[in-house]
A and B are shown apart, each in its own frame.
Chain A
Amino acid sequence: MSIDNQAAPTTPAGRTNDGAPANLTHGAGASVTMPARGPEPQPRGAIIRGNRPIDQQEAARRFMAAPEHLAMHDQRLWDLRQKRDGQKEIIEEWEDLRQLASDIKTHTLTHLDTYLEQFEKNAIANGVKVHWAKDAAEHNSIVAEILRSKNAKSLIKSKSMLTEECGFREAMAEAGVQVVETDLGERIQQLDNENPSHVVVPAVHKLRTDVAEVFAKTLGSDPNNSDVSYLTEQQREHTRPLILKADAGMTGCNFAVAETGSVVVCTNEGNADLSANTTGLHIVSMGIEKIIPNLNSLAVFVRMLSRSALGSPITQYTSHFRGPRRGAEMHIVIVDNGRTDRLGLEKFWTSLKCIRCGACMNTCPVFRRSGGLSYGATYAGPIGLIIDPTFNRHKYSTLPFSSTMNGSCTNVCPVKINIHEQIADWRQVLAENHEIPAFKKSMMKAAGALLASPKLYRASLPMADSALRHLPRFVLYNKLNTWTRGREMPHVPKETFHQWYKRTRGMDGKKK
C-alpha cells in the first residue's frame, strides 16, 4: 500500500501518467490508443471579415488539408461518441432520462419567471449577492465593478461558454484585470489567443505538438518536448502560483437549482473548486436558461451530462455552491444576452434546453471534419448552427447550410432538442429573409419552375447524350460544377427510365 508521489516520466497514449491503463471510463480519456502524430502546422479557424457571412467551407477546406489534425480530431471525437454509446447501453432507463430531461426543461422554460424569482430569493437568503445583466456589455461591467469595489486585479476562472459569448477576457483586459483560465484546454486556447473550438474539449483541434509550441512561447517549456504528461505538468506548475496569488475567482454555472438557490458546476480538473474556494470572492456567471426547479431534477441532468459529453458516468467534480464561505463573498450575475428573444421564437425556443454537453458536435460528421473554429462563432457544430443566427442573422446566415441534416445530433441530444429540424427551419427563415446568396435563390427559383412543369422538364432532357443529362438537376444550375473536385461523375445510361418505360410499355403502361 503506497501513494505514488512521482508522475511517470513519459505518457504513451493509452496510459495515464500514474501508469493505469487509460481505457477507463472517466475524465474524457480516450478509450483507444491514439497514434503519435505531428508536427504539422495547425490550421486556423474561419477568417472573420466584420459582419460578412462566415465562409465555413473555406476554413473547413484548410482543416481537411491538414491530414494529421483531421485524423486526430475525427478519431478523438468519434471515440467520445462511442464511449457515450457505451454508457447508453449500461443505463437501462437512458431513453426515459432523455425524455425526463427534455420535459423538465420544457416545464422550466415555460415557467422561467417563477423559477428565477424563487432562485433569486433563496440565493439572497443564503447570503449571495444577485445581479442581473441584459446583455454581454452589462455582464462585463457588473463583474468589473464587483472587482473594482474589492480592489481585485487578478481573476482565476473556470471555463464558461457564457463568458466566451460576452467577450469577457477582452473586456477585463481593458479594465486592467488579469484573467487566468484554469481549465487546461481553455488555458491552452487563452495562451494561443484562440477561441475554444468545442464546448467541452476546447483545444481538441490541436495536436500535442501545437500545444508544445504554445507552451514554449508562453510558459517557457521545452519546445521539443510534446509529451502530454510533461505539458500538463508544466501548466499545473505554472498556474498554481497564479491561483494562490489571485484576488478573485470566477466560475460558470451548469445548473442553477431554484429550490435551494445553489449553483452547480461540473469539471474534471477540480479547477472550478479551486477558483471558487481559494480567494475570498467568488463570482458566478450564469445564463437565465440554466435554471432547473429542484434537486430531483438535478439528478437527471447530472446523470446525463458527462455520459453524453464524454462517455464518463460523471465529471470528477460536481460542485454545489449554495452560498459564500464564512468570511467570503459570493456574487451571481444572471445574464439574458439574447435568451429572452430566443424564448419568443416559436420554432427555435427549445434550443434553450441545451446543457452544453457537446454530444452533437462529437457525432456530427461535418464538425469532426472541419473543426469547431471553422464556424467562426462562439457556438460551433449542430447546436451552434441553430443558436448563432439568433445573435446575428446576417453574419451566421451561412452556418445552417453547413450540415447534411442527417439527424444524428438530434438522436444523441440528452434533452431531445430537434436540432436537425431546426437547422431546416433556419434555412427557411434565412431564405425568406433574403439571407441566402442571390445565386442560390435564383437557382432554386429556376429549378422550382422547371420541376413544376413536366413539359419543360422533359424538354430539358431530350437526348441521351445531352450535356444537360450529365449532371443532376441542382448541379446543373450551379455554374461552378463542384461535383467533380472530389468525385467522379456518374455513368450516363443510354436512355432515361421515362424513355425506357415509354419504349417498352407505351403511354398506357401495358407491356409491349
Chain B
Amino acid sequence: MRVGLFVPCYVDAFHPEVGQATLELLERFGCEVEYPFDQTCCGQPMTNTGCHKESKATEELFVRNFKDYDYIVAPSGSCVNHIRNNFDAVAQTDDVKHVREHTYELVEFLHAVLKVDGFPWAEFPHKVALHNNCNALRGLNIASMTELREKKFSKPRDLLGMVKGLELVDITRPDECCGFGGTFSVFEEATSARMGQDKARDQAKSGAEYVTSSDSSCMMHQEGCAKRLGLPTKYIHISQILNGERV
C-alpha cells in the first residue's frame, strides 16, 4: 500500500515531531510511506476566507503531488475535511476525485483502513483529555456528536483505549469549539482567544495532565491560551502517543 504523507504547513513549521510520529507509526503498520517534497498546503486558509479562486493553484499543486498514491494520510482532520468536502476550486477531474476520496485523517485511517488492533509499543501512564477538532468531528465524523441522537462512538477513544496506562478524563463541554477556526483566530482574535481560554480552563479543571487531539492546529491555539493563563496542562498530538512516545 503506497501512502503519501501530507504534513500541513503549521505541522511542518511548528510541530515536526507530529509529522515524524505519523510517518513512523504508518511504517510500523507496514505502509510504504512517501513524503512528496513539493507539498505546501491544501488551500483551506484561502477557501475559509471566501477566496476560492485564490486557492485554486494551491489545490492543483496538491493534486499533482498526491494523485499517484493509493492513500493520502495527514495528521489533521481540518485539512482532510477541506480536501474531502470543500475542495472545489479545481476542476473535478479523475485525479482530483481520486485524491478527494482517498485522503484520510490519521485516526480514521488507522481505524477504518488499517483496522489496527493494538499499539504494543505504546504506554502513556497519564490522565488525558481528548479534543476533537470540529471538522474532524462534524465533517469527517470521527466520533458521535452530542447534538445528535445517535449511537455513541469515538474512533480516537477506541485507539487511545489500546494504549497501556492511559486514562481518559472527561471535560464538561467536550464538543464545544475551541475558537481556533483557521483565519478566525487572527481576524476575530478576541472571541477566538476567549473561547480558547475557556477550553483550556475546562481541560485543566478535568484533572487532565495532557490534552491530545488528531489536530495540531486546535492544540497550538489551546496551548497558547493555557500558557497565557499559567495552566499546567500539556498538549501532545495523538500520533505521538500511539507511536509510543514517552514523556
Contacts and interface: CB of A to CB of B under 8 A. Distances in A.
Nearest to A496: B12
Interface residues of A, number: 84
B26 to A, nearest CB: 13
A488 B98 CA distance: 39
Q: Is the interface of A mostly helix, strand, loop or mixed?
A: helix
Nearest to A374: B191
Given A440-B49, A472-B9, A486 B57 contact: no
B193 A487 contact: yes
Contact of A454 (B37, B138, B176, B228): B37
A429 B47 CA distance: 11
Contacts of A61: 190
B197 A486 contact: yes
B126 interface: no
Interface in B111-152: 134-135, 137-139, 145-150
B28 to A, nearest CB: 14
B155 interface: no
A57 B188 contact: yes
Contacts of B139: 407
Given A95-B148, A493-B17, A64 B190 contact: yes
Given A412-B147, A447-B45, A485 B189 contact: yes
A412 B184 CA distance: 22
B134 A472 contact: no
Given A488-B228, A497-B20, A444 B58 contact: no
B194 A404 contact: no
Contacts of B10: 472-473
Given A408-B138, A411-B148, A486 B51 contact: no
Interface stretch (A36-44, A198-206, A324-332, A362-370): A362-370
Given A408-B175, A490-B224, A501 B190 contact: no
Nearest to B172: A78
Contact of B51 (A411, A431, A453): A431
Interface in B47-66: 47-58, 60-61
Contacts of A365: 176-177, 179, 195
B52 to A, nearest CB: 5
Interface string A347-383: 0000000000000000101100110000000000000
A428 B52 contact: yes
Contact of A440 (B14, B177, B187): B187
A431 B54 CA distance: 11
Contacts of A432: 50, 52-53
Given A85-B146, A488-B228, A427 B50 contact: yes
Nearest to A400: B50
B49 A487 contact: no
B190 A485 contact: yes
Interface residues of B, number: 81
Interface in B223-244: 223-225, 227-228
A450 B15 CA distance: 21
A490 B34 CA distance: 27
Given A424-B48, A424-B86, A486-B196, A401 B58 contact: no
B79 interface: no
A57 B187 CA distance: 9
A216 B43 CA distance: 56
Contacts, number: 241
B162 interface: no
Contacts of B18: 497
Instruction: Pick the most buried of A412, A427, A461: most chain B CB atoms within 10 A of its CB.
Output: A427
Q: Is the interface of B mostly helix, strand, loop or mixed?
A: helix
A445 B51 CA distance: 8
A463 interface: no
B20 A428 contact: no
B36 to A, nearest CB: 9
B191 A444 contact: no
A451 B43 contact: yes
Interface stretch (A9-17, A296-304, A314-322, A475-483): A475-483
A406 interface: yes
Given A85-B147, A452-B58, A475 B186 contact: yes
Nearest to B179: A404
A219 interface: no
B227 A404 contact: no
A496 B16 contact: yes
Nearest to A97: B149
Interface string A484-512: 01111111110111111110010101000
B182 A474 contact: yes
A509 B190 contact: no
A410 B188 contact: no
Contact of B58 (A429, A448, A461): A448
Interface of B: 7, 9-20, 23, 34-35, 37-41, 43, 45-58, 60-61, 86, 134-135, 137-139, 145-150, 173, 175-177, 179-198, 220-221, 223-225, 227-228
Given A441-B51, A474-B182, A487-B227, 12 more contacts: A404-B195, A406-B177, A411-B147, A427-B48, A447-B54, A450-B40, A457-B40, A457-B41, A490-B224, A496-B13, A497-B11, A501-B23
23 contacts: A64-B190, A95-B150, A365-B195, A406-B181, A407-B138, A408-B138, A427-B49, A431-B49, A431-B50, A436-B50, A441-B51, A444-B54, A447-B54, A451-B9, A472-B220, A473-B10, A475-B186, A482-B187, A490-B220, A490-B223, A493-B15, A496-B13, A501-B23
